[in-house]
């Protein structure tokens, strides 16, 4: 069978090579020519364009890092669906929102193309060994037709429902991956502060109720080796957690732990850890703990922004909100809002000192353009029971 594979990254290239080993004629396409050359050197073939794949292949598989990449490859000018021949089957192994998978399914129907969302779990190790877990959404008849191809890449293949369901299961998986990653980081950091032998603690936990595949992966492959070259980078886990939390919010599910981990991931990225493997959250945990031991806990500060100029407030509102969004993404902002009577707004920051907060406030477009003044007060938060 002739198979096209778009996205020869850390996950994609070993998945595509599993298809080559299974005897398929596989054509790879990647933004980086170096990846294509490596694929060809190991038995694959290089595709000239998305158009070639869309017109000449029996099946095209995509495995791309970001939702925007998926949209461009499928729906952009010169993309797969623009050039696809009727009867083509496309399988997306990327991690995206279920809503995007449904959009691609509907667009594929209009192009007379069969589409499955089939995200994978198991990391680069599972991709290299052909033991991935694959969760598939779409038309079951299409799933049955491509099952032998999926079985060349994974060992646990699950049809989970209509279009978007595969992506939904993957986001649930990633929500737990993020939480387990943080649990591992905190547990092993605590073991170190007790002066315990980490290897021994790991062996005990790995045979106890605390055991998880994430802990085993992170410790054995990364923490014990003190090597954080990415198999799956923190920035990608952060992207997945963002999608998972958005999906949960849309369904009315309050993800207390997931939201906290999401903020920690974003702050780790802002402090330079984004390209480290997700196991590197252990290193970030240690850095944060050390700062707390040296400088104390982070405090909360309420910044009141009294109205000075209503017209300027309207003019610079979008810039102000974009500024706050950046602070939120970096984990520096707890909440923000405005008073309905027009008196101004309130922003609650997390920081080590009032001086640090004032530096941020002075960068706010509202303050720069004198739309608002500001008052900073340390904030004592008392959380009510859920």
The CATH class, in words, for 299-379 is: alpha beta
Tokens of 186: 């905190």
Q: Which two tokens stand for residue 123?
A: 């990391």
In terms of phi and psi (left: phi > 0; alpha: psi -120 to 50; beta: otherwise), the region of 18 is alpha
pLDDT score at 107: 97
Catalytic residue list: 170
> Rounded distance, CA 328 to CA 152, Å?
42
Topology (CATH) of 2-163: Rossmann fold (3.40.50)
Q: What is the pLDDT along the chain (386 residues), one digit of tens a residue?
A: 999 999 999 999 999 999 999 999 999 999 888 899 999 999 999 999 999 999 999 999 999 999 999 999 999 999 999 999 999 999 999 999 999 999 999 999 999 999 999 999 999 999 999 999 999 999 999 999 999 999 999 999 999 999 999 999 999 999 999 999 999 999 999 999 999 999 999 999 999 999 999 999 999 999 999 999 999 999 999 999 999 999 999 999 999 999 999 989 988 998 899 999 999 999 999 999 998 888 777 889 999 999 999 999 999 999 999 999 988 877 788 889 999 998 999 999 988 889 999 999 999 999 999 999 999 999 887 655 54
Nearest to 11 by CA among 125, 131, 124: 124
For the chain, report the end-to-end CA distance as a whole number of angstroms. 55
Provide the pLDDT for residue 293: 87
Domain parsing of the chain, residue ranges: 2-163, 169-294, 299-379
The whole-number pLDDT of residue 384 equals: 56
Closest C-alpha to 75, from 84, 66, 63: 84
| 193-211 as b/e: b if 16+ CB within 10 A | eeeeeeeebbeebeeeeee
> φ and ψ at 149, to 5 degrees?
-70, -45
User: 167-187 burial string, b = 16+ CB within 10 Å, else e?
Assistant: bbbbbebbbebbbbbbbbbeb
Q: What would the two tokens of residue 114 be?
A: 């069969």
For residue 210, which phi and psi values (nearest 5 degrees)?
A: -80, -5
CA–CA gap between residue 363 and residue 278 (Å, rounded): 31
pLDDT at position 292? 83
The CATH number of the structural domain formed by 169-294 is 1.10.1040.10
- Whole-number Å distance between alpha carbons of 36 and 21: 17
Q: Which pLDDT value is given to residue 218?
A: 98
Residue 21: Cβ within 10 Å count: 12
Q: What is the C-alpha separation between 127 and 19, in angstroms, rounded?
A: 11
3-state per-residue secondary structure call for the chain: CEEEEECCCCCHHHHHHHHHHCCCEEEEECCCHHHHHHHHHCCCEECCCHHHHHHHCCEEEECCCCHHHHHHHHHCCCCHHHHCCCCCEEEECCCCCHHHHHHHHHHHHHCCCEEEECCEECHHHHHHHCCEEEEEEECHHHHHHHHHHHHHHEEEEEEEECCCHHHHHHHHHHHHHHHHHHHHHHHHHHHHHCCCCHHHHHHHHCCCCCCCHHHHHHHHHHHCCCCCCCCCEHHHHHHHHHHHHHHHHHCCCCCHHHHHHHHHHHHHHHHHHCCCEHHHHHHHHHHHHHHHHHHCCCEEEEEEEEECCHHHHHHCHHHHHHHHHHHHHCCCEEEEEECCCCCEEEEEEEECCHHHHHHHHCCCHHHHCCCECCEEEEECCCCCCC
- Give the per-residue pLDDT at 386: 46
Across the strands, what pairs with 137? 117, 161
């Amino acid at each position: 069978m002739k198979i096209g594979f778009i996205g020869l990254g850390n996950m994609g290239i070993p998945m595509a090579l599993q298809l080559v080993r299974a005897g398929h004629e596989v054509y790879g396409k990647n933004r980086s020519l170096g990846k294509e050359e490596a694929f060809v050197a190991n038995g694959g073939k290089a595709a000239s364009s998305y158009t070639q794949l869309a017109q000449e292949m029996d099946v095209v598989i995509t495995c791309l890092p970001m939702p925007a990449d998926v949209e461009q490859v499928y729906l952009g000018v010169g993309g797969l669906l623009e050039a696809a021949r009727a009867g083509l089957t496309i399988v997306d192994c990327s991690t995206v929102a279920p809503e995007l998978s449904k959009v691609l399914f509907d667009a594929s129907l209009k192009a007379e193309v069969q589409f499955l969302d089939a995200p994978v779990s198991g990391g680069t190790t599972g991709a290299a060994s052909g033991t991935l877990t694959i969760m598939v959404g779409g038309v079951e008849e299409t799933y049955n037709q491509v099952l032998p191809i999926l079985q060349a890449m994974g060992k646990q293949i699950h049809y989970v429902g209509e279009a978007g369901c595969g992506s939904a299961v993957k986001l649930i998986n990633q929500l737990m991956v993020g939480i387990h990653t943080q649990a591992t980081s905190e547990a092993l950091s605590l073991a170190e502060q007790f002066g315990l032998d980490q290897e021994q603690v790991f062996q005990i936990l790995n045979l106890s109720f605390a055991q998880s595949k994430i802990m085993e992966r992170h410790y054995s492959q990364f923490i014990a080796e003190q090597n954080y070259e990415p198999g799956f980078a923190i920035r990608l886990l952060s992207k997945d957690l963002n999608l998972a939390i958005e999906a949960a919010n849309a369904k009315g599910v309050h993800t207390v732990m997931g939201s906290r981990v999401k903020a920690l991931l974003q702050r780790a990225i802002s402090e330079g850890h984004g390209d480290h493997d997700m196991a590197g959250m252990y290193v970030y945990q240690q850095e944060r703990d050390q700062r707390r031991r040296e400088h104390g806990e982070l405090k909360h500060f309420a910044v009141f922004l009294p109205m000075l100029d209503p017209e300027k407030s309207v003019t610079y509102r979008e810039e102000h909100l974009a500024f706050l969004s950046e602070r939120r993404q970096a984990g520096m902002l707890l909440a923000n809002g405005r008073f309905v009577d027009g008196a101004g707004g309130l922003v609650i920051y997390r920081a080590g000192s009032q001086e640090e907060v004032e530096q941020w406030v002075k960068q706010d477009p509202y303050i720069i353009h004198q739309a608002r003044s500001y008052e900073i007060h340390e904030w004592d938060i008392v959380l009510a029971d859920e």
